[in-house]
Amino acid sequence: MSSLWYSITVAPELGIVLGLTPVMLVRQRSKKEKQSGHAPDRPPFVVRVIRAISQYVLQIGCWLITTAGTRITVEGLENLPEKGPLLIAARHYHHLYDGCILLRCIPRRMHIFVALDWIRTRWQRALMEWACTTLSWPTVLRTERLFVTTDGQEGESIFRVDEVKKYLRNAVKDAMLLLRHGKGLVIFPEAYPNVDPDPNPKDRGVSFLPFRAGFVRLVELAERDEQARVAIVPTGFCYTPGKRRWQVTLRLGTPLYRKDYEDATALASAIEERVQELSH
């Protein structure tokens, strides 16, 4: 999913299409409110309108991207809870289309857990940190990717190694709060897509990477208040090349719950197995 943001930074006009201008107005206004000591729990009407416009424009951007490059079939929408904390654990096949398809097709506002370690310039870092913060998208750094350039060679990173833990702490906190507040969160537990402009572990010919089980830990933390009950929906992608566009089937499985499994490892394994089944 990091490459969704990469596409924005290499084409600034795409960033505007995806709603960065409206959310910037919200960010500036919110900052002034905090400085003045008047930041109410419920944002002012103007801020709410701008946020709604931003989300609407984001949806339009995803619709344009996916319409141009894919033909989508969706199966299993009836498995999605209409409300309450939702975590979509999805296969990561395409660096750009996966996230856009989910944002377009899921009938709830979703927040995506993204990696920013691909960034190589200060302006990209400033823009992406601001955008993800404004959209409430948790961000992490993959340690193994910090000093790898887009051609797979060693290089310098705009991030320091000692920032990895800080990003992880903030991402865990942000994701936990989203779930506790009944929001929807998308995570790609493989961490890398099959189709990616940058080198990654899947270049060795593997179709799936083992799931990183940290997403189950997020669920456990969110449910510590004994009020949240997170629905984890295993989600598969099946891509078939077409003459001009990918034929993509998005499959949503029935929700799984932490309480139904003996431990986190058993739940992570069950979700991984189900995601692979849904991706064929």
pLDDT of 224-261, one tens digit each? Answer: 988 889 999 999 999 999 999 999 999 999 999 999 99
Q: How many CA atoms lie within 13 A of 271 on its CB side?
A: 33
| Identity of the highest mean pLDDT range in 159-163, 164-168, 274-278 | 274-278
- Return left, alpha or beta for 43; rule: phi > 0 is left, psi -120 to 50 is alpha, else beta: beta
Q: Do 56 and 103 meet the contact criterion of CB atoms below 8 Å apart?
A: no
Q: How far apart are CA 117 and CA 198, in angstroms?
A: 12
Mean pLDDT score of the chain? 83
Q: What is the pLDDT of residue 159?
A: 87
The token pair that represents 81 in the structure block: 């809870």
Question: Is the overall model pTM greater than 0.85, yes or no?
Answer: no
Q: Give the model's confidence band at 152: pLDDT under 50 very low, under 70 low, under 90 confident, else very high.
A: low
Per-residue pLDDT tens digits for 78-109: 999 999 999 999 999 999 999 999 999 999 99
Q: What is the pLDDT, as a whole number, of residue 167?
A: 94
The domain ranges of the chain are 71-278
The lowest-confidence range among 25-39, 60-74, 190-204 is 25-39
Does residue 36 sit in helix, strand or coil?
Answer: helix
What pLDDT score was predicted for residue 11?
A: 45
With beta carbons less than 8 A apart as the criterion, state whether 69 and 245 touch: yes
Does residue 25 register a pLDDT over 60? no
64 pLDDT above the threshold of 80 = yes
Helix (H) or strand (E) holding 235: strand 231-240
**Higher per-residue confidence, 7 vs 240:** 240
The rounded distance, in Å, linking the Cα atoms of 225 and 236 is 30
- The larger pLDDT score, comparing residue 141 to residue 203, is at 141
The percentage of the chain sitting over the pLDDT mark of 70, rounded to a whole number, equals 80
Distance CA 59, CA 132 (A): 16
Give residue 183's pLDDT band: very low, low, confident or very high (50, 70, 90): very high
pLDDT of res. 102: 97
